[in-house]
């Protein structure tokens, strides 16, 4: 049940006091909103009336952050739940969705990669990210793509499993390079039997399940037997496989004996900033670590940060059987119940004080402390550069949000625009945007027209999504790749949309087009340059290069997709199987387009009606 009341002139304690008579002792979630109906805070309660009453009167126990939040509260919203556990889950979901200013917020919520062993007579081993929809065995999560790639590289050397697609596997007539460099046993051309390959797959899965010692012992025994039989080539191959497995374990560093499956989560707070370090222990092996920097206030406690982190982190991820924490959380029983329900089996949350588990947490805590120190140093440097940028371009204050734009195309084809975003925390990659250039009236290669289209679409979206400029979506500075022409084109767009208070600078290479001789263009002023060794110049170069990298990458992806496009995909009734039959029969889509009606009807699985549709499609297009 949802209850809300229109805000009136009251704010703060008096406004909150007015809600008490409408509340009962039900569990639920409450939202505190300011005078513009922006959500300030989302909280949960076992007893809504009791919790809200704590905000209805001044208290010395309220921190500065909570006192400011109360003073800004102009209205509240309430949602009752059946249990406090439901309230906990709903609270974390709303925090991620609404991003309230006074809540602890996990800003990086990417999925983690896994290793997949596919369901196939000759399974392939590959990296997998996202939902586990396909059949097969999954092992993970790994902290990063790099950790997966390193493990896959060594596993291929150790077990000689294929990593090619099923289509490539089916079409091979001779071994590929992977076989030549001893990374694959070439099951595609019968270099290994299905039973022998299955044994290698089983060994790989045993290793990924933590039974690596048994695998290495078996390989060592086979190597000794091969050596005694004077099969020295086979013995050398087995030796290389043992060495590859050893390298995997060495790279993993920490391989606890007494912890089979756990996430080790440690928090370090310092000067209003936080770093949470997460180590993934699976199958008694360290599968990497990742650091996170949740948004926190200057007066939050470790318990609040860790509880918020757990709720948001595991909202879209499967929790392990054991979670080791550096600090206790307030609602451990509720969090344990919520995560156990999610996993479908018991999850344990613990703060170890001694033994191997405590050593794991200490190691994660040390990493969190060191990571936060590095980030704070980088942030200080970034702040200095932003102040220098403000001075160089005559801005009123250091920019909080810089948007940099670039285009990429080849003679006008597959044209894309790209926007990157930077601020006090560096590059904000989750804010990057790509724009597929749509303008049919554009002359191929018209960079001015492309930039005008990109900026027009950007300002339309800003005016729609953040008309009052209170959501932090508007840039404090625009950097455009180009000189006076681009600046003039963008300035006209900004005037058209009434955006005249956002500073805009064009970054153009000098007469020799050498890095370091950039000229900066602003509407109505003469171009200027910065000193060759000015740190601000290097900073602008990095921003421009990042935009260029993102634009080129986006263009290449679009070009590759267009090259993979097949006209058969556009014909109604031609699915994957009929497409394969047509290509197998004629050899190419071009040959299909030239085929006569009788030849099309002769293809297995193609009916007379479909043959006529295919024939008409190509002849109408012609």
Q: Are residues 119 and 225 in the same domain?
A: yes
Three-state SS letters, 215-256 = HHHHHHHHHHHHHHCCCHHHHHHHHHHHHHHHHHHHHHCCCC
Any domain includes 508: yes
On whether residue 422 sits in a domain, the answer given is: yes
- H/E stretch holding 113: none
pLDDT tens, residue by residue, 200-243: 898 888 878 766 556 667 778 878 888 888 877 777 777 777 77
User: Is residue 573 assigned to a domain?
Assistant: yes
- What CA–CA distance (Å, rounded) separates 292 from 277? 6
Contact at 8 Å (CB) between 208 and 139? yes
* Cα–Cα nearest to 368, from 254, 277, 467: 277
Question: How much is the pLDDT for 206?
Answer: 81
Question: Do residues 497 and 552 share a domain?
Answer: yes
- The last residue of one of the domains, among 64, 98, 132, is 98
Tokens standing for residue 542: 């990095």
pTM, whole model, 2 decimals? 0.71
CATH number assigned to the domain comprising residue 54: 3.40.1440.10
Which DSSP string corresponds to 11-39?
-THHHHHTTGGG--S--EEEEEE-TT--E
Domain end position, chosen among 252, 274, 300: 252
Give yes or no: residues 530 and 437 share one domain: yes
Low-confidence residues of the chain: pLDDT under 50: 1-7, 251, 622
Q: What is the 3-state secondary structure (H, E, C) of 271-293?
A: CCEEEEEEEEEECCEEEEEEEEC
Which among 291, 298, 266, 263 has a CA at the least distance from the CA of 279?
Answer: 263
46 and 20 in a common domain? yes
CATH number for the domain harbouring residue 588: 1.10.150.20
Whether residues 24 and 50 fall in one domain: yes
Q: How far is the C-alpha of 548 from the C-alpha of 544, rounded, in Å?
A: 6
Q: Same structural domain for residues 276 and 188?
A: no
Q: Strand 125-128 relative to strand 114-118: parallel, antiparallel, unpaired?
A: antiparallel
Are 347 and 436 members of one domain?
no
Contact (CB, 8 A) for 563 and 433? no
What span, in angstroms and rounded, lies between the C-alpha atoms of 93 and 514? 49
**What SS3 state is found at 72?**
helix
How far is it, in rounded angstroms, from Cα 431 to Cα 420? 7
Q: What CATH number does residue 344 fall under?
A: 3.30.420.340
What tens digit of pLDDT does each residue of 326-346 get?
999 989 999 999 999 988 889
Residue labelled with tokens 């002359």:
443
pLDDT of residue 472: 81
The pLDDT value recorded for residue 479 is: 94
> pLDDT at position 362, please?
93
Q: State residue 60's pLDDT score.
A: 84
CA distance 380 to 598: 74
What's the domain range around 518? 402-562
Q: Do 92 and 54 touch, CB atoms closer than 8 A?
A: no
166 within some domain: yes
Pick the last residue of a domain from 209, 224, 252: 252
Determine the pLDDT at residue 444. Answer: 62
- Structure token pair of residue 587: 């050899």
Q: How far from chain centre, in Å, is Cα 55?
A: 37
Contact 255, 286 (CB under 8 A): yes
Give yes or no: residues 576 and 594 share one domain: yes
What is the per-residue pLDDT for 29? Answer: 95
Do residues 108 and 314 touch, judged by C-beta distance below 8 A?
no
235: number of Cβ within 10 Å? 18
Specify if 104 maps to a domain: no
133 with 155, same domain: the answer is yes
In-domain check, residue 171: yes
| 396's tokens | 């009123």
Shared domain check, 536 and 422: yes
Task: Name the nearest CA neighbour of 523 among 469, 483, 571.
Answer: 483
Q: Do residues 420 and 525 share a domain?
A: yes
How many domains does the chain divide into?
5
In a domain, 60, yes or no: yes
Residues 558 and 571 in one domain: no
Q: What CA–CA distance (Å, rounded) separates 406 from 479? A: 9
- On whether residue 235 sits in a domain, the answer given is yes
């Amino acid at each position: 049940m949802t209850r809300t009341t229109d805000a009136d002139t009251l704010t703060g304690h008096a406004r909150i006091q007015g809600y008490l008579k409408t509340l009962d002792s039900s569990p639920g979630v409450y939202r505190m909103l300011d005078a513009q109906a922006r959500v300030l805070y989302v909280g949960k309660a076992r007893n809504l009336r009791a919790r809200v009453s704590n905000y209805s009167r001044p208290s010395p126990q309220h921190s500065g952050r909570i006192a400011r939040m109360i003073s800004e509260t102009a209205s509240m919203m309430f949602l009752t739940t059946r249990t406090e556990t439901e309230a906990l889950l709903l609270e974390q979901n709303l925090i991620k969705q609404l991003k309230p200013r006074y809540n602890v917020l996990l800003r990086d919520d990417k999925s983690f990669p896994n290793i997949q062993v596919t369901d196939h007579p000759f399974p392939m081993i590959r990296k997998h990210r996202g939902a586990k929809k396909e059949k097969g065995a999954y092992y993970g999560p790994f902290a990063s793509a790099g950790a997966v790639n390193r493990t896959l590289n060594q596993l291929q050397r150790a077990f000689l499993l294929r990593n090619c697609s099923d289509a490539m596997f089916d079409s091979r007539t001779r071994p590929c390079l992977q076989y030549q460099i001893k990374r694959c046993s070439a099951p595609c051309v019968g270099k290994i039997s299905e039973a022998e390959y299955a044994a290698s797959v089983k060994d790989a899965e045993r290793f990924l399940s933590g039974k690596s010692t048994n695998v290495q012992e078996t390989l060592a025994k086979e190597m000794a037997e091969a050596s005694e039989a004077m099969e020295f080539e086979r013995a050398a191959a087995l030796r290389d496989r043992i060495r590859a497995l050893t390298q995997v374990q060495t790279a993993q560093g920490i391989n606890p004996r007494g912890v089979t499956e756990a996430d080790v989560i440690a928090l370090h707070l310092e000067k209003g900033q936080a770093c949470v370090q997460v180590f993934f222990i699976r199958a008694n092996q360290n599968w990497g670590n990742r650091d996170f920097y949740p948004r926190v206030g200057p007066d939050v406690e470790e318990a609040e940060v860790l509880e918020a982190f757990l709720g948001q982190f595991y909202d879209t991820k499967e929790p392990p059987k054991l979670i080791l924490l550096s600090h206790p959380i307030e609602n451990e029983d509720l969090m344990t119940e919520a995560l156990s329900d999610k996993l479908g089996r018991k999850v344990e949350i613990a703060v170890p004080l001694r033994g191997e588990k405590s050593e794991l947490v200490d190691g994660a805590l040390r990493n969190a402390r060191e990571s936060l120190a590095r980030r704070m140093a980088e942030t200080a440097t970034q702040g200095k550069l932003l102040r220098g940028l403000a001075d160089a371009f005559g801005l009123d204050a250091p920019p909080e949000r810089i948007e940099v734009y670039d285009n990429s195309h080849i003679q006008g084809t597959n044209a894309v625009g790209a926007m990157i975003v930077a601020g006090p925390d560096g590059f904000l990659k989750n804010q990057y945007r790509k724009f597929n250039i749509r303008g049919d009236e554009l002359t191929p290669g018209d960079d001015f027209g492309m930039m005008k289209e990109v900026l027009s679409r950007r300002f339309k979206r800003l005016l729609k999504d953040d008309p009052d400029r209170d959501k932090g979506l508007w840039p404090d500075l625009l950097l455009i790749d180009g000189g006076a022409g681009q600046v003039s084109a963008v300035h006209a767009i900004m005037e058209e949309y009434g955006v005249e208070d956002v500073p805009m600078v064009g970054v153009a290479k000098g007469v020799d087009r050498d890095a370091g001789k950039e000229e900066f263009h602003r509407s109505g002023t003469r171009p200027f340059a910065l000193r060759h060794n000015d740190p601000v110049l290097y900073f602008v170069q990095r921003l421009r290069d990042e935009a260029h990298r993102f634009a080129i990458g986006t263009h290449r992806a679009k070009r590759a997709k267009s090259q993979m496009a097949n006209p058969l995909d556009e014909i109604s009734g031609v699915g994957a199987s009929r497409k394969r039959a047509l290509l197998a029969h004629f050899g190419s889509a071009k040959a299909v387009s030239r085929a006569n009606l009788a030849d099309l009807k002769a293809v297995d699985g193609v009916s007379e009606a479909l043959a006529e549709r295919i024939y008409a499609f190509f002849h109408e297009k012609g």
